Each structure stands twice: as C-alpha cells, then as structure tokens.
C-alpha cells in the first residue's frame, strides 16, 4: 500500500532547482559499494563503453540486427523494470542467448524508484537483485489519525540511476535507447524509423494498455527528491502518513530518507479517476514539509505516475487480446492488486523465463500468460479488499480501512505485502469493528468477483 516500489509512468515536471546528486553525496550511508566501473562513467554511453572494456558483453549477436543480418533470440520491447530484470537474468545465466533491449527513452528505467519489503522475495531472489539495490532500512513506519506504528520489517529501494548503470554495464550494445517501436508481433518488431528486426521471441514490456476486460481504480502520485537545509532526523521510511487532509480518495504521504538531508516525498492518492494535477500536488508537498519543520534547499528531481489498482475483470479475456505476444510487468497485469508494487512479480517472471529451455515465442507467451493468470487467480481476496476500499466507503473515510488493517501483527502485514495470505489471515483482516458501512460492504461483497464492471 505504499506509493513506491511500482513501475512508474514518469513525466518531467517543473524544472525547479536541479542539483547533482553525486556532488551532494545523496544516500552515502545507505548506498552499497559500486564496482570501479560505475565511478568511471557519467552517462549511459559511458556505461556501455566501460562495459565493453571491463566486462566484454553478453549475447554478442544482438549487436548485429536488421535486414540481412542474423536474427536475435529475444527482443525485449521497453527498458523498464520487468524487461530489464529479464535481460539481466538471461545474460547472467544464458550467455549463449542473443538479446536486444529496445527502449524508446534516453535511458532504461526512466526516472523511477522501486521498493520492496524483505518478505516479498526469497533469499535467493534478494541475492541476485543485490547489485540494483541502493538503499536498505531495517524497519518502516505508518501514521494514521488514530494509529502510529513502526513495523520491524526490512525495506529496500532500487533507483533508476543504479538500474541503468548495472544493466548498461551488463548488456553493452545489446541495449538500444532512443529506439521507439511502432509495431510488435510475436517474432518481429518494426521501429518508428521503419527498421524491421526479427527474433525468435518478442516480449512487450511497455506498460499497461487500456483493456475493457479489467476494471481498475487508480493510485496516482507525484514525488519530489529534495535536499533539505538541515538534517531531517528520519531513520526509517514512512510508507504511509495519512494524518494529512483526505481529498480525492484515500490520500497519504510516502517518505524515504535517502541521506541525512535528502528525502523522497510523494503525495499519493487512491482515487476513482486517473487525472493528475501536478501543481496542486507540488503545493501539497510544500505544505507537508512545512508541517514537519523541514526547509527545502533544492529540488533534485521529480517523478509522477498513475498506477492500476485491480477491482475486477476477466484475466483470460485480457490475455486473449494479446494475440500471442508475450508480455511482462504491468503489460502482463503482474502487480500487487492493492499496493501496486511490481518488483516482486518482475523478479519472479525473470527467474521463470531464464529457466525455460524453449525460448520460442509460443513457449514464452504461455509462460508469461500462465504466471499472470495464476497470480490473478490467487489474489482475488485483494481485489475484494480494493472494492471495499473504493466502493464501500466515502472517499474522505477510506483511510479508516487502512488504519484498521495496520492493527494486525507484523508477520501478517508482511504476508499481505508479499501476496501470501493464509486463510486465517483473511479472517483476521475482515474481523473487528467494520471501518465502513455494513450495508455498503454487503452490497459490494454480493457482486461477482469476476465481473469486469463493478459498481457501488
């Protein structure tokens, strides 16, 4: 239920006063060691050049593509979190595979932050993800009008800057940026400039597309990474502070301490509509800083996004629309239905694809579809909770549902974020004094869970 840790749709917002994070030593206490390679290059081109000299690169055939050239084995369309992790795992475990990652923007990863709880991943998954992790904390906090609490569960974050550095070093020329893709089929793509590239398999990871087979609410946010004039005093993330005025649905502020004077502060809304108002959210963040007694010295960067929150739908019909093209990440409906976190699903999908002996488009389509459908079917309870959150309570009262949830013991909360609830956990979540109208709750519960159209 946090604002971070999701694949994000970023738009560059107001310029503000932008400063160089390296010059100000952001997050030094929390940043893991970087190989010498990572301090030798300041741009993505630099990473690729350094990769060629320090590592060589994996999948050399990917550098020769197009008409009259060797066909690559896998093309990954979109250089976001899910496709980037798939490329990383394939390059590490299958060096014979010829990969090509095509990213429309100037760098993979965009300008995002992805976070996860320790319980979301296995020890083995955390180990191979370790090169991407920049910040770690041993606990996190939540704040509500009637409940303030710290939970002793580890929390970690991956930044887009580290993501691009690590992935660029591994892939070298198998990573092409500023390469917008116009059309996709299961075994070929056509770039916006007309170049056609064939492959044994194409995986589309360009984010969610509208589907009439899914009913969604929205989690929308604007975040600012800010350098403060004085130390903020936080030692743990505050992943939900709902002590603020409630408007436009369930609203909370999400704060990550990135260094003694550096914070990422996000104003987040669980809202009925996707409209994002950057100006209003910037003002709200400024007001929040003032209430905490923090003075901003400089704006480092901004990130913003609108994420899907699943209420209902028909996952089989959703996949039938894909006409055989494998998908990853949000394009595959692989995200936690309630929190929007996508990193754990991206890690698991990367492992699954790397383990396949058959990497044909048919086999990869079936693997991605099967993982998505299984996750969807296992998470029906979360979509029920989402319907209660969005449909059974007045927007200004939605925070009471989350406040009620956080009365539960830390292990149960951890299983909730991991999407691994036990039957008794579900009873515990629904027990106690109802935080919403019983009449409205019963009306929502009476509706078919599979319905693509959910109404209050």
Residuewise pLDDT in 10s, the chain (456 residues): 444 454 433 233 333 333 333 223 333 333 333 333 333 333 334 434 333 333 333 343 344 344 435 689 999 999 999 999 999 999 999 999 999 999 999 999 999 999 999 999 999 999 999 999 999 999 999 999 999 999 999 999 999 999 999 999 999 999 999 999 999 999 999 999 999 999 999 999 999 888 999 999 999 999 999 999 999 999 999 999 999 999 878 999 999 999 999 999 999 999 888 999 999 999 999 999 999 999 999 999 999 999 999 999 999 999 999 999 999 999 999 999 999 999 999 999 999 999 999 999 999 999 999 999 999 999 999 999 998 888 877 788 889 889 999 999 999 999 999 999 999 999 999 887 766 555 565 566 656 655 544 444
Q: What is the pLDDT of residue 396?
A: 82
The pLDDT assigned to 449 comes to: 56
What integer pLDDT is reported at residue 246 of this predicted model?
Answer: 92
d(CA 23, CA 35): 19
Q: What is the pLDDT of residue 437?
A: 56
pLDDT for the residue 441: 59
pLDDT value of position 18: 32
Residue 61 confidence (pLDDT): 39
Residue 406 burial (CB < 10 Å; 0-12/13-18/19+)?
middle
pLDDT at position 59, please?
41
The pLDDT, as a whole number, for residue 450 is 54
Q: What Rg, from alpha-carbon coordinates, does the chain have?
A: 22
The predicted pLDDT at position 273 comes to: 87
């Amino acid at each position: 239920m946090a604002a971070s840790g999701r694949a994000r749709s970023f738009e560059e917002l107001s310029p503000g006063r932008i400063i160089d994070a390296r010059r100000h030593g952001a997050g030094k206490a929390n940043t893991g060691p970087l190989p010498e390679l990572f301090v030798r290059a300041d741009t993505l081109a630099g990473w690729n050049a350094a990769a060629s000299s320090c590592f060589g690169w994996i999948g050399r055939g990917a550098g020769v593509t197009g008409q009259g050239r060797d066909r690559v084995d896998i093309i990954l369309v979109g250089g976001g979190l899910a496709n980037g992790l798939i490329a990383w795992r394939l390059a590490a475990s299958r060096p014979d595979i010829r990969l090509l990652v095509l990213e429309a923007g100037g760098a993979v990863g965009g300008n995002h932050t992805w976070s996860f709880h320790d319980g979301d991943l296995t020890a083995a998954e955390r180990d191979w993800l370790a090169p991407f992790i920049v910040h770690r904390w041993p606990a996190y906090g939540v704040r509500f009008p009637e409940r303030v609490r710290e939970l002793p569960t580890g929390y970690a974050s991956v930044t887009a800057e580290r993501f691009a550095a690590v992935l660029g070093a591994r892939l070298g020329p198998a990573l092409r940026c500023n390469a917008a893709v116009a059309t996709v089929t299961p075994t070929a793509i056509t770039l916006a400039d007309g170049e056609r590239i064939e492959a044994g398999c194409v995986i589309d990871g360009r984010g969610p597309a509208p589907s009439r087979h899914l009913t969604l609410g929205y989690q929308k946010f604007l975040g600012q990474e800010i350098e403060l004039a004085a130390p903020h005093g936080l030692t743990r993330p505050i992943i939900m502070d709902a002590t603020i005025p409630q408007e436009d649905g369930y609203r909370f502020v999400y704060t990550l301490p990135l260094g003694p004077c550096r914070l990422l502060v996000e104003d987040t809304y669980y809202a009925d509509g996707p409209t994002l108002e950057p100006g209003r959210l910037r003002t709200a963040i400024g007001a929040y800083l003032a209430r905490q007694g923090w003075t901003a010295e400089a704006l480092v960067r901004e990130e913003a996004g609108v994420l899907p929150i699943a209420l209902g739908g028909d996952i089989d019909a959703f996949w039938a629309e894909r006409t055989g093209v494998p998908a990853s990440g949000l394009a595959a409906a692989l995200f936690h239905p309630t929190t929007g976190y996508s990193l754990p699903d991206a890690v698991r999908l990367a492992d699954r694809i790397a383990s396949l002996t058959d990497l044909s488009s048919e086999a990869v389509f079936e693997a991605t579809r099967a993982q998505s459908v299984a996750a969807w079917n296992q998470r029906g309870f979360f979509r029920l909770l989402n319907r209660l959150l969005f449909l059974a309570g007045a927007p200004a009262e939605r925070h009471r549902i989350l406040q009620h949830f956080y009365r539960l013991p830390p292990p149960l909360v951890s299983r909730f974020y991991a999407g691994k609830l036990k039957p008794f956990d579900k009873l515990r979540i629904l027990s106690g004094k109802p935080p919403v109208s019983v009449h409205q709750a019963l009306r929502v519960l009476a509706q078919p869970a599979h319905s693509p159209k959910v109404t209050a």
